Amino acid sequence: MARVVHYRHCRLVKPVPTGEKVVVSWIPEAFAEAGRVVKLKNDKTWEDGWVVREVWSSRLPAAQVPDFHELSKAHLRATGDAETA
């Protein structure tokens, strides 16, 4: 039986010249450790230098992690706000 990978809900920050970027994301539990520096995928490229600032108790198996990109597209289609080209 394949091993189930779990994800943890985390707040990550990345220093930038004007302050810091902040993102909340589900990341694999193996990387979800406060203070750890990780890479995040931004569209099709990986961006290094994100620091795990907080790790919350929320824990889900990979199959249950919400796909917010798909949820957003479904919402746009349902509300008629989707771009039509």
Residue 22, pLDDT score: 95
**C-alpha closest to that of 52 among 67, 31, 66, 28:** 31
Question: Which tokens belong to 62?
Answer: 């990979």
d(CA 49, CA 53): 12
User: Are the CB atoms for 39 and 55 separated by under 8 Å?
Assistant: no
Span 12-51, pLDDT tens digits: 999 999 999 999 999 999 999 999 999 998 878 999 999 9
Percent of the chain with pLDDT over 70: 85
Asked whether residue 77 carries a pLDDT value surpassing 80, the answer given is no
Q: Which residues contact 60 (CB under 8 A, 6 or more apart)?
A: 6, 7, 26
Asked whether residue 73 carries a pLDDT value surpassing 60, the answer given is yes
d(CA 4, CA 80): 37
d(CA 57, CA 32): 11
**pLDDT mean across residues, the chain:** 85
